Amino acid sequence: MTIVNFIINFRLYFCQGKNSIAMRDSNTWMYIVGGIVLLHFIVGFIYLIRKMQPRKEDKLNKDENSE
């Protein structure tokens, strides 16, 4: 089951009340889930970039050893 199928099934299951027709026409849930996924990727890339940068202590140790 792909994430898209999961989202569609979730919307169809939980949106069966009075506003079910209006909820099916609305893309609000898709925007919310897409925003969460996009935010997750952005935070993950920021974390990886920060994790891969050398620490200040490592730079100081390399400078002292080279002299």
Q: Considering only CA atoms, which of 31, 1, 29 is closest in space to residue 15?
A: 29
pLDDT tens per residue, range 9-63: 666 666 665 555 555 567 888 899 999 999 999 999 999 999 998 877 766 666 6
- Model pTM? 0.48
Burial class of residue 3, CB neighbours in 10 A (0-12, 13-18, 19+):
exposed
> In the chain, what are the domain boundaries?
3-66
